[in-house]
Structure 1
């Protein structure tokens, strides 16, 4: 059997040798097994020292200033990783993180991060709670994934952020607390990362999943792929580094973008998306596994935190994308 045949379908037995947290992710989020049948696996996964370290890191959710949204050590990225593995508010520290998010909401229903924007970048130079379109959607996404009441706590903020939609993406927008700050790009450009995480948020909300906004965002990202050699808004490139396989899917790279796009039925036959998945498929080894090509140092010690051996978690992400692309 060749690599393509091995990679055409997602199978749970690929993860048979995976650590408990990865087995739990596959069985709870992909196979959607009854939680009552996974109690022992849940507890073994939760006891993993690496999982415990992440849980400790999110306990003081606003204890880390947001100075770079690419920072894999930010509590919001770690919280979303844990939620994506299938853990939820049954874990006290995750519940505390959710409550910490809920405690800081502006009059528009948008949740805030603790940020310090220096004066020379247009901010106050002081620690303050505010939001940017490159973090606010992630906070809303975490609340959705954690099962927080949508009508009471999420709908208003989503509707407010959607008001900034500009045809095929979202511009660099910040709350009034952050002053004149904006990212390094033309003011008239849309921000690819803000657009990506807004699309990821919409993928979790049934009423927006097939909306014109979702379609416009997908088209915008696919257009950037098609014009990757000449268009780089806000210094977001889709070049060599973008095409390196990397996990978790938390920033702007081929795994992150393809993962979000693959969640939408209307994207899966798009030629650009098919090209993107072909790039991923082409990196599959003969045994159907994937090796990380780039890593986050904050995840050193995880199977995806090295570039020498196959990573079952990266394989989990890539095979899931490829399986969705077949539907």
Structure 2
């Protein structure tokens, strides 16, 4: 079975994720493996990086070096606030929250782009959902610390998805698109957030958001809001899932039970499946250069982590 092949070829951090997220083993039974994960040099670097959480300005949301992406990666593989560095990062996030309950990032927007030209705590709809999601995954109390922000961001929903919105601190900044268009990335990460919150009231919004993404796929040749394309680069297999690409979109949509049989969703799955090797694994077709040293940041041999991300929605992990 592929699951055991993956375990055999994976580093400790991915073994830990597989045993927790796929085999559903208990954390208390994996303490020795967790200890090895925490000694992994790349994991240690990530943990060290997130402790100085606001040291990196959020000026390029596609930057894999942003602490929020590192924190979510660590949470996704199964680490939690019992790891002191993760607790420190969570505490740093929670220090900066506006009156709407939305957590803020430290960013810089030049005056000629509508900002104030100074380092400023504020939020964009392409980063705020990630902070709320990280706190949710870290086990922070939803009702006390997360719900208000989710409610506010959800109120920004339009029929065609979530628009490009920033907090008042960031002035008149807006991305390169028509004001009435949706931002596909903000729509994707808001859908991912709402799928995981413990409230049934978002079911209708979730279904609409899933359909927005599927409609963008259906019209991918002529619909590119805010310059988010679903063309050749979008269809290349890439890890980790931090941006707007086929692996990221499919893994979010896979959590939506109502679209599993949608023809458009099935088309995306078939594209991923067509790139599977004879031994059932997947090789990266695009990489983040800044992540050199990780097993998924090369294009020559199959990547266990990319395979893990691709096999889950394909239902082949077993």
- The 5-angstrom pairing of residues 1-327 of structure 1 reads 11-208=3-200, 211-323=203-315
How many angstroms apart in 1 are the aligned matches of 2:186 and 2:317? 24
1:62–1:113: 8 Å Cα contact kept in structure 2?
Answer: yes
Runs ≥4 in structure 1, deviation > 3 angstroms?
none
How many angstroms apart in 1 are the aligned matches of 2:223 and 2:153? 25
1:64-92 per-residue CA deviation (whole Å, 9 max, x = no partner) reads 00010000000000100010010111111
Distance 1:277 1:52, change over 3 A: same
1:202–1:208: 8 Å Cα contact kept in structure 2?
Answer: no
How many angstroms apart in 1 are the aligned matches of 2:231 and 2:151? 33
1:132–1:173: 8 Å Cα contact kept in structure 2?
Answer: yes
How high is the TM-score relative to the length of structure 2? 0.97
Tell me how many residue pairs correspond in the alignment.
318
Structure 1: segments with no counterpart, 5+ residues: 1-5
2:311–2:317: 8 Å Cα contact kept in structure 1?
Answer: no
* 3-state SS of 1:16 partner: helix
1:3 aligned partner: none
1:268–1:325: 8 Å Cα contact kept in structure 2?
Answer: no
1:102-125 per-residue CA deviation (whole Å, 9 max, x = no partner) reads 110000000000011000000000
* 3-state SS of 1:114 partner: strand
Distance 1:97 1:209, change over 3 A: farther
- 1:13 Cα deviation after fit: 4.1
Which shows bigger deviation, 114-123 or 295-304?
295-304
How many angstroms apart in 1 are the aligned matches of 2:220 and 2:115? 32
How high is the TM-score relative to the length of structure 1? 0.95
- 1:208 Cα deviation after fit: 4.3
1:98–1:143: 8 Å Cα contact kept in structure 2?
Answer: yes
How many angstroms apart in 1 are the aligned matches of 2:25 and 2:200? 26
RMSD: 1.5
Distance 1:44 1:325, change over 3 A: closer
How many angstroms apart in 2 are the aligned matches of 1:138 and 1:172? 15
- 1:28 Cα deviation after fit: 1.3
How many angstroms apart in 1 are the aligned matches of 2:85 and 2:159? 39
- 1:264 Cα deviation after fit: 1.1
Structure 2: segments with no counterpart, 5+ residues: none
